[in-house]
């Protein structure tokens, strides 16, 4: 019996779910800041100042709150985010790896947005304009794009 990448993805995310909050609060902002450095320089992330986006990976039972505070990205736990973007791990992988765009995932009901839809649209536009995966080292970007091409969305 073989396990498809779609079914295996939630297991790959387990370390994030069970990692101590101090670890994720330090490591994820550094990674995001690196991937979104150009957007930050151009003020495109200012829309997040004092607001929170919650990413919910449903099949991995993973919730990550992202906010901007004094031009610094922070990871936070939040009960009432300004906007929540919800989907399964395969949808987020396809989005991150460029094999699917946010509109397609939304219309296929693989991603949903709740809360401040204008903020959600701003984030969608940011991801489309800056393609954060392009900031990754080439071998990591290639691995991400290859894995994303194998998921069914």
Contact yes or no for 80/110 (Cβ under 8 A)? no
Selection from 144, 149, 120 nearest residue 131 by Cα? 144
In this prediction, residues 123-130 reach a mean pLDDT of 83
Cα–Cα distance between 3 and 7 in angstroms, integer? Answer: 7
- Classify residue 10: in a domain, yes or no: no
Rounded (5°) CA angle 5-11-12? 75
Question: In sequence order, what are the residues at sequence separation of 6 or more whose Cβ sits closer than 8 angstroms to the Cβ of residue 85?
Answer: 53, 54, 55, 56, 111, 112, 113, 120, 123
For 99, half-sphere exposure in the C-beta direction (CA atoms, 13 angstrom radius) is 19
- Classify residue 1: in a domain, yes or no: no
Per the structure, how many domains does the chain have?
Answer: 1
Selection from 91, 102, 110, 101 nearest residue 6 by Cα? 91
The percentage of residues in the chain with a pLDDT greater than 90, rounded to a whole number, is 41
**Which pLDDT value is given to residue 34?**
84
User: What CATH number has the domain bearing residue 86?
Assistant: 3.30.1050.10
pTM of the shown model: 0.86
Range of the domain at 55: 20-150
- Classify residue 2: in a domain, yes or no: no
Alpha helices by DSSP H, 13-137: 14-18, 21-35, 37-41, 89-97, 102-107, 117-130
**Which pLDDT value is given to residue 131?**
83
pLDDT over 50 at 46, yes or no:
yes
Report the DSSP beta bridge partners of residue 93.
none
pLDDT tens digits along 4-30: 777 777 777 877 777 888 888 888 888
Selection from 124, 83, 82 nearest residue 105 by Cα? 124
pLDDT tens digits along 70-95: 888 999 888 899 999 999 999 999 99
Grouping H, G, I as helix, E, B as strand and the rest as coil, residue 118 is: helix
Task: Tell me the average pLDDT of the chain.
Answer: 87
């Amino acid at each position: 019996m073989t396990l498809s990448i779609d079914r295996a993805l939630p297991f790959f995310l387990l370390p994030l779910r069970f990692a101590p909050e101090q670890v994720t609060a330090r490591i994820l902002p550094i990674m995001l800041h690196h991937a979104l450095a150009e957007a930050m320089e151009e003020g495109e992330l200012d829309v997040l100042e004092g607001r929170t986006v919650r990413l919910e990976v449903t099949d991995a039972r993973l919730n990550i709150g992202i906010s901007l505070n004094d031009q610094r990205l922070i990871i936070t736990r939040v009960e009432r985010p300004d906007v929540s973007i919800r989907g399964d791990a395969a949808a987020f992988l396809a989005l991150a790896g460029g094999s699917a765009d946010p509109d397609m995932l939304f219309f296929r009901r693989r991603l949903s947005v709740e809360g401040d839809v204008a903020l959600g649209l701003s984030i969608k536009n940011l991801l489309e304009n800056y393609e954060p995966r392009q900031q990754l080292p080439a071998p990591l970007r290639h691995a991400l794009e290859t894995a994303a091409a194998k998921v069914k969305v």
